[in-house]
Structure 1
Amino acid sequence: MDELKVTFYLKKNEERADGTMPILGRIRIGKSMVQFSTKVYAIPELWDVKSGRAVGKSKPTTAVNRELDRISVDIRSACKNLLAKKENVSAMEVKNAFQGISSEQETLISLYEKCNDSFYKKVGISRKMATYKQYCVALNHLKDFLRQRYNVRDLPFQSVNPAFVSAYDLYLRTDLKIGRSTITRMMGYLHRVLKSAINGGHLRQDPFVGYTFDYVPIVPKFLSEKELKRMIATPLPKSNLNLVRDVFLFSAFTGISFSDLRNLTERNLAQAEDGTWWIHSARQKTGTPFHVPLLELPLELIEKYRGIAKNGRLFPMYSCSKTNIYLKRIAEACGIRRRVTFHQARHTFGTLLISAGISIESIAKMMGHTNITSSQVYAKITDDKISKDMDKLMERRKIQSTGEKPDSNK
Structure 2
Amino acid sequence: MAIRLQRATLYLRVDKKKRDGRMPLYVRFRRIDSEEPKFPIGIDLLPEEWDSERQNASDPDIDLILQKEITRIRQEVRKLELEGIEITKEILREIVSQKQTKAERPENQSFYAYYNDYVSKRTNTCKIGESTLKGYETTLKSLREFRSEIRVKDINAKLLSDFEKFLIKRGEESGKGDVKGSRYNRIKHIRAVIKYIEAQNIPIKNPYRTGDLALPEDIINDVFLEEEEVKRLYLLLNKVEVGSKQYRVLVMYLFSCATALRIGDALAVKWGDLDVNRNPIVLGIKMQKVKKPLYVPLPPLAEEMLEFAPEGNLNNVEKENHIFCLYDKQVINETLRELAKMAEIDKRLTYHSSRRTFATLASAKGVPLQDLKQYMGHSSSKTTERYIKWSPTLAEQSAKKVKLFDLKELLKKK
- Name the aligned partner's letter for residue 220 of structure 1: D
1:48-104 CA deviation, whole Å, 9 max, x = no partner? xxxxxxxxxxxxxxxxxxxxxxxxxxxxxxx96695455987x99998999733225
The aligned counterpart of 2:9 is none
2:349 aligns to what?
340
Task: State the match for 2:331 in structure 1.
Answer: 322
User: 2:196 is matched by which residue type in structure 1?
Assistant: S
**Identical amino acids, percent of aligned pairs:** 18
Residues 369 and 384 in structure 2, CA contact (< 8 A), matched pair in contact too: yes
Q: Which has more radius of gyration?
A: 1
Supply the distance in 2 between the matched residues of 1:365 and 1:298 (Cα, whole angstroms).
17
In structure 1, the residue matched to 2:316 is 308
| Contact 2:56-2:63 within 8 A present in 1 as well | no
Q: Give the aligned partner of residue 130 of structure 2.
A: 127
1:16-27 residue pairs with structure 2 within 5 A? none
**Structure 2 match to 1:193:** 193
> Who is 1:246 aligned against?
251
Deviations 1:195-224 (A, max 9, x none): 222233323674421242233241321122
Cα deviation for residue 285 of structure 1 reads: 1.8
Partner of residue 231, structure 2: 229
**Matched residue, 2:220:** 218
Q: Conserved in 1, the CA contact under 8 Å of 2:260 and 2:358?
A: yes
* 2:367 is the counterpart of 1:358: yes
Q: Deviations over 1:101-154 (max 9, x none)?
A: 32252332332354466788899x93147435413333224416xxxxxxxx43
Describe the SS at the equivalent of 1:308: helix
**Quick one: distance in 1 between partners of 2:329 and 2:321?**
20
Consecutive unaligned residues in structure 1, runs of 5 or more: 1-78, 145-152, 391-410
Unaligned runs of 5+ in 2: 1-54, 73-95, 173-177, 399-414
Contact 2:112 2:140 in 1 (8 A): no
The 2-side partners of 1:276 and 1:175 are apart by 49
- Is residue 382 from structure 1 mapped to residue 390 from structure 2 by the alignment? yes
Q: Does 1:160 align with 2:155?
A: yes
CA deviations over 1:301-337 (Å, ceiling 9, x no partner) = 3244264167332333433333334334433433334
- In 1, the alpha carbon distance for the partners of 2:123 and 2:323 equals 28
Q: 1:386 to 1:238 in 2, by over 3 A?
A: closer
The CA distance in 1 between the partners of 2:307 and 2:296, in whole Å, is 17
2: distance between equivalents of 1:290 and 1:282?
6
Aligned to 2:280: 276
Q: How does 1:59-70 map to 2 (within 5 A)?
A: none
**Offset of 1:372 from its aligned partner?**
2.6
How far 1:341 sits from its partner (Å)?
A: 3.3
The yes-or-no answer on 1:110 pairing with 2:105 is: no
| Contact 2:155-2:204 at 8 Å conserved across structures | no
What's the TM-score, normalizing by structure 2?
0.59
* TM value normalised by structure 1: 0.60
The answer on 1:139 being equivalent to 2:143 is yes
- Name the structure 2 match of 1:180: 180
Instruction: Evaluate the alpha carbon distance shift between residue 322 and residue 207 of structure 1 in structure 2; reply closer, same or farther with a 3 A threshold.
Output: closer
Note closer, same or farther for the CA distance 1:231–1:369 as it changes in structure 2 (3 Å cut). same
Deviation for aligned residue 1:189: 1.6
Deviation of the 1:250 alpha carbon: 0.8
1:365-386 deviations in whole A, cap 9, x for unaligned?
211224333321233x227766
- 1:219–1:377 contact (8 Å) kept in structure 2: no
Residue aligned with 2:255, SS: helix
Q: Give distance in 2, aligned partners of 1:385 and 1:293.
A: 27
Give the whole-Å Cα distance in 2 for the aligned partners of 1:175 and 1:87.
30
- TM-aligned CA distance change 1:388 to 1:183, over 3 Å: farther
Deviation at 1:238, TM superposition (A): 0.9
Distance 1:316 1:132 in 2: 27
Any conservation in 1 of the 2:112–2:150 contact (CA below 8 Å)? yes
Matched length: 300
Counterpart of 1:344, as a letter, is: S
Q: Secondary structure at the match of 1:214?
A: coil
Letter in 1 for 2:191: H
Counterpart contact for 2:136–2:189, Cα < 8 Å: no
Question: Aligned in 2, Cα 1:85/1:351: closer, same or farther, shift over 3 Å?
Answer: farther
Asked if the contact 1:248–1:345 (Cα under 8 Å) also holds between the matched residues in 2, the reply is yes
